[in-house]
């Protein structure tokens, strides 16, 4: 049986529209606007991650926020994104050492990788020659389609739970619906952008939808681990930035990694 829409559905829609404007403008205009936008997202996610894992935002939280927030500026000052990724494990060890007495130190320290990798990935994708702006539009809209399709199919069809111990509301119908929605959006955008292999791009979108769901489940696991409902309440009707970006984090890392692993060959389909 399907379920009714939540009472805050209208607020969720309004918040999504308000956020979409600056996000789309930042993607379209690129440097430095995209860098500012991504840096702000990184700082907010670091703040939420610190509050989630340690229940405070003090010295170690500030260090994490400064590290993550600085990554988008590396290309502007002439440094390589890879340099930030290579030192991320050093920050992981530092953040762990600064919180030896805290119960959530393991999760918090992982934040140096969990947050820096997607930040670097989206800057890398936006800076891809010729099609960078299209790649970010495609990836972002594919994940939005995943969330929207998953929500709609799950709400309408219901059925068996996907991971009841981690996220009781997610269903297999929602997962398949999200993957199907991402496929359609990928296919549509590939034709709109006149890319080389629209059907393959659609399949990649569908695969990234699955990865986005894994990212969503990871954040849900973290919230359940620390017994909180949302990463914060900064976005009315949605919760926190991490609550909205969890799927985007995983998909961004996966696709940027795929480009690097194939030495850019995958882009011949785009």
Report percent pLDDT > 90 for the chain: 75
Distance of alpha carbon 81 from alpha carbon 119, whole angstroms: 10
261 Cβ contact list (under 8 Å, min separation 6): none
Q: Do 105 and 99 meet the contact criterion of CB atoms below 8 Å apart?
A: yes
Tell me what pLDDT residue 128 has: 95
How many residues in total does the chain contain?
Answer: 270
Place of tokens 């850019």: 264
* pLDDT at residue 59 is higher than 90: yes
Q: Among 64-78, 79-93, 208-222, where is mean pLDDT lowest?
A: 79-93
* pLDDT at residue 95 is higher than 50: yes
Q: Supply the pTM of this predicted model.
A: 0.93
Tell me what pLDDT residue 180 has: 97
The sign of the torsion formed by the CA atoms of 80, 82, 86, 90 equals positive
Please write the tens of the pLDDT for every residue from 174-210: 999 999 999 999 999 999 999 999 999 999 999 999 9
Tell me what pLDDT residue 126 has: 97
Please, what is the average pLDDT of the chain? 92
Three-state SS for the chain is CCCCCCCCHHHHHHHHHHHHHHHHHHHHHCCCHHHHHHHHHHHHHHHHHHHHHHCCCCHHHHHHHHHHHHHHHCCCCCCCHHHHHHHHHHHHHHHHHCCCCCCCHHHHHHHHHHHHHHHHHHHHHHCCCCCHHHHHHHHHHHHHHHHHHHHHHHHHHCCCEEECCCEEEEEHHHHHHHHHHHHHHHHHHHHHCCCCCHHHHHHHHHHHHHHHHHHHHHHHHHHHHCCCCCCCCCECCCECHHHHHHHHHHHHHHHHHHHHHCCCHHHHHC
Place of tokens 């800057």: 123
Tell me what pLDDT residue 1 has: 46
* pLDDT at residue 217 is higher than 70: yes
Tell me what pLDDT residue 165 has: 85
More confident residue, 151 or 46: 46
Average pLDDT of span 55-68: 96
pLDDT band of residue 3 (cuts 50, 70, 90) is low
**What token pair was written down for 182?**
């991402």
* pLDDT at residue 159 is higher than 90: no
Tell me what pLDDT residue 6 has: 60
Burial of 3 (0-12, 13-18, 19+ CB in 10 A): exposed
Cα angle value 212/41/19 (rounded, 5°): 80
Average pLDDT of span 51-77: 95
94-101 long-range contacts (CB < 8 A, ≥24 apart) are 94/63, 95/60, 95/63, 95/64, 98/59, 98/60, 98/63, 99/54, 99/60
* pLDDT at residue 77 is higher than 90: no
Average pLDDT of span 16-33: 91
Report percent pLDDT > 70 for the chain: 97
Tell me what pLDDT residue 263 has: 95
Phi-psi region for residue 56, left (φ > 0), alpha (ψ -120 to 50) or beta? beta
Tell me what pLDDT residue 7 has: 61
Distance of alpha carbon 237 from alpha carbon 268, whole angstroms: 40
């Amino acid at each position: 049986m399907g379920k009714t829409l939540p009472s805050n559905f209208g607020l969720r829609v309004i918040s999504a529209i308000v956020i979409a404007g600056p996000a789309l403008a930042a993607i379209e205009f690129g440097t430095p606007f995209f860098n500012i936008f991504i840096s702000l997202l990184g700082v907010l996610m670091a703040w939420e991650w610190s509050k989630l894992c340690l229940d405070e935002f003090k010295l170690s939280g500030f260090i994490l926020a400064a590290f993550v927030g600085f990554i988008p500026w590396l290309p502007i000052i002439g440094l390589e994104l890879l340099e930030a990724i290579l030192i991320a494990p050093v920050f992981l060890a530092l953040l762990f050492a600064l919180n030896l007495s805290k119960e959530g130190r393991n999760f918090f320290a992982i934040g140096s990788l969990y947050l820096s990798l997607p930040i670097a990935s989206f800057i890398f994708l936006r800076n891809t020659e010729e099609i960078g702006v299209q790649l970010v539009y495609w990836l972002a809209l594919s994940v939005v389609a995943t969330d929207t399709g998953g929500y709609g199919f799950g709400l309408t069809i219901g059925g068996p739970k996907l991971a009841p111990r981690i996220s009781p509301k997610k269903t297999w119908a929602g997962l398949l619906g999200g993957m199907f929605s991402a496929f359609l959006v990928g296919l549509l955008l590939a034709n709109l952008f006149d890319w080389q292999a629209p059907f393959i791009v659609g399949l990649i979108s569908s695969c990234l939808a699955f990865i986005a769901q894994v990212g969503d489940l990871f954040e849900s696991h973290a919230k359940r681990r620390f017994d909180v409902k949302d990463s914060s309440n900064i976005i009315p009707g949605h919760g926190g930035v991490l609550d909205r970006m969890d799927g985007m984090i995983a998909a961004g890392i996966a696709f940027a990694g795929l480009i690097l692993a194939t030495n850019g060959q995958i882009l011949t389909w785009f």
